């Protein structure tokens, strides 16, 4: 409602009381100190320091809680592997595999070196192999177990069952994973200054390197390079004359890993072949696969890359003439190859060979 002379207005409550409600404060309060806002330092002391203390306390609590739960977790997984229920056993095996991949520790020691874990996983693999009639799921579980055993550094426990898994009467994919697990274990132990003492490993790999199955033969040939036994060296030198190019290349790479330049003619052939086919178009993809990936070119590129890496490891064992010959073959690859990664690898090797030359 708007103000109007027709309506009476209430009296002003402040009228005649200016001394009490004026702008100036009362005289008896005029000498009080002015109110100032708290300083930043005071706020830090009041809030931030206690907050930091609480955070540290909580962090320490969570850290020890995590360590305790991690210790309890691997033991729980190990207990599950021993369970009568197959689903619980495999759940425990999966949990242990995940912890091994994460480089977990047990009692201050890497879980990969825990004998209890190695024994239980090995027994699970041995029981699976002894089942006889297998389903596709059983084979998948065996593949999983072989890969997991390849993460363990207890070779006296794991090697016998891996050798069993790579026997010719086992599933091809299981055999492939078993051989790869042996190779990765041997390589890892070699980097630690250790060796696999199991005497049956090299003879079994030699037997596998004689098989007609290319995949098994290639893996076995490559794996022989992880062992220092004279029989492994002798077999690799024989494989340098194999009819299959990849077998020859894997033998040369394995020998290079051992510091032997006996595979140098194989490497020179690979480099020469790469130079001859720089401008060749890729072969048409297989219509049955429905893929645009040129498998043949991919395989050739991988072979070329592995050859250059092996030559890099071998560079200190080559004489001036050998290095000059290799540099002549590498130059067109470094300048003209259509794969940028191949060009980078070739240039890196060229620089290494030139720096080590007198």
Q: Are residues 300 and 248 in the same domain?
A: no
The token duo for 58 is: 């909580």
Q: Left if phi > 0, otherwise alpha if psi is -120 to 50, otherwise beta: which for 33?
A: beta
Residue 279 has pLDDT above 80, yes or no: no
Q: Are residues 251 and 265 in the same domain?
A: no
Question: What is the full DSSP assignment across 174-197?
Answer: HHHHHHHHHHHHHHHHHHTT----
Residue 291 has pLDDT above 80, yes or no: no
Q: Left if phi > 0, otherwise alpha if psi is -120 to 50, otherwise beta: which for 198?
A: beta
What digits encode the pLDDT tens for the residues 13-26? 555 555 554 545 55
Q: What percent of the chain has pLDDT over 90?
A: 40
Q: Are residues 242 and 303 in the same domain?
A: no
**CA dihedral sign, ordered 167, 169, 170, 172:** positive
The burial class, CB within 10 Å (0-12 / 13-18 / 19+), for 136 is exposed
The set of residues, in sequence order, having a beta carbon less than 8 Å from that of 133 and lying 6+ positions away, is none
The residue segments making up the domain with residue 89 are: 71-107
The answer to the question of residue 192 being in a domain is yes
The answer to the question of residue 300 being in a domain is yes
Q: Are residues 221 and 154 in the same domain?
A: yes
Q: Are residues 100 and 152 in the same domain?
A: no
The answer to the question of residue 124 being in a domain is no
Residue 268 has pLDDT above 90, yes or no: yes
The set of residues, in sequence order, having a beta carbon less than 8 Å from that of 285 and lying 6+ positions away, is 291, 292, 293, 294, 295
Residue with tokens 């190695």: 118
Q: Are residues 265 and 357 in the same domain?
A: yes
What CATH number corresponds to the domain at position 216? Answer: 1.25.10.10
Is this structure's pTM higher than 0.95?
Answer: no
The answer to the question of residue 121 being in a domain is no
Residue 49 has pLDDT above 70, yes or no: no
Q: Are residues 312 and 269 in the same domain?
A: yes
Max Cα–Cα distance, the chain, nearest Å:
124
Residue 38 has pLDDT above 80, yes or no: no
Q: Are residues 236 and 191 in the same domain?
A: yes
Residue 275's pLDDT is 56
The answer to the question of residue 63 being in a domain is no
Residue 41's pLDDT is 60
Q: Residues for the chain: how many in total?
A: 358
Cα Rg, the chain, nearest whole Å: 36
Q: What is the DSSP letter of 33?
A: P
Select the more confidently predicted residue: 247 or 94.
247
Q: Are residues 248 and 268 in the same domain?
A: no
Residue 198's pLDDT is 78
The answer to the question of residue 8 being in a domain is no
- Beta-strand (E) ranges in the chain? 105-106, 109-110
Q: Are residues 157 and 236 in the same domain?
A: yes
Q: Are residues 242 and 268 in the same domain?
A: no
Select the more confidently predicted residue: 295 or 145.
145
**Which of these three, 258, 286, 320, is where a domain ends?**
258
The answer to the question of residue 287 being in a domain is no
Q: Are residues 165 and 245 in the same domain?
A: yes
State the total domains in the chain.
3
The answer to the question of residue 23 being in a domain is no
Residue 94 has pLDDT above 70, yes or no: yes
Distance CA 81, CA 145 (A): 12
Residue 256 has pLDDT above 60, yes or no: yes
**Over the chain, what is the mean pLDDT?**
79
**Which of these three, 58, 92, 107, is where a domain ends?**
107
Residue 27's pLDDT is 55
**Which of these three, 209, 228, 258, is where a domain ends?**
258
The set of residues, in sequence order, having a beta carbon less than 8 Å from that of 153 and lying 6+ positions away, is 110, 112, 113, 185, 188, 189, 192
Residue 351's pLDDT is 93
């Amino acid at each position: 409602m708007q103000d109007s002379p027709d309506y009476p207005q209430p009296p002003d409550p402040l009228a005649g009381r200016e001394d009490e409600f004026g702008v100036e404060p009362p005289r008896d309060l005029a000498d009080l100190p002015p109110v100032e806002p708290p300083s930043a330092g005071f706020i830090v002391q009041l809030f931030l320091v206690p907050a930091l203390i609480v955070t540290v306390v909580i962090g320490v609590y969570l850290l020890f809680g995590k360590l305790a739960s991690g210790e309890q977790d691997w033991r729980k997984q190990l207990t599950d592997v021993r369970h009568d229920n197959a689903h619980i056993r495999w759940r425990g095996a999966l949990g242990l595999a995940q912890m091994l991949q994460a480089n977990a520790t047990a009692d201050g020691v890497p879980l990969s070196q825990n004998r209890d874990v190695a024994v239980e996983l090995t027994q699970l693999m041995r029981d699976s192999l002894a089942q006889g009639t297998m389903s596709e799921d059983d084979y998948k579980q065996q593949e999983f177990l072989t890969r997991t055993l390849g993460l363990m550094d207890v070779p006296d426990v794991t090697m016998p069952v891996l050798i069993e898994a790579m026997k010719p009467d086992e599933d091809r994919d299981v055999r492939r994973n078993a051989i790869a697990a042996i190779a990765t274990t041997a390589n890892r132990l070699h980097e630690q200054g250790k060796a696999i003492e199991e005497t049956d490993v090299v003879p079994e790999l030699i037997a596998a390197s004689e098989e007609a199955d290319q995949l098994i033969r290639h893996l076995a040939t490559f794996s022989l390079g992880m062992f220092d036994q004279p029989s492994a060296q002798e077999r690799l030198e024989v494989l340098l004359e194999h009819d299959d190019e990849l077998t020859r290349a894997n033998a040369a790479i394995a020998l290079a890993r051992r510091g032997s330049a006996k595979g140098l003619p194989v490497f020179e052939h690979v480099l020469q072949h790469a130079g001859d086919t720089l401008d060749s178009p890729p072969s048409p993809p297989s219509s049955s696969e429905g893929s645009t990936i040129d498998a043949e070119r991919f395989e050739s590129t991988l072979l070329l890359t592995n050859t250059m890496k092996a030559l890099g490891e071998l560079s200190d064992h080559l004489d001036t003439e050998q290095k000059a010959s290799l540099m002549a073959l590498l130059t067109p690859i470094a300048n003209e190859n259509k794969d940028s990664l191949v060009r980078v690898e070739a240039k890196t090797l060229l620089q290494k060979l030139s720096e080590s030359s007198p």
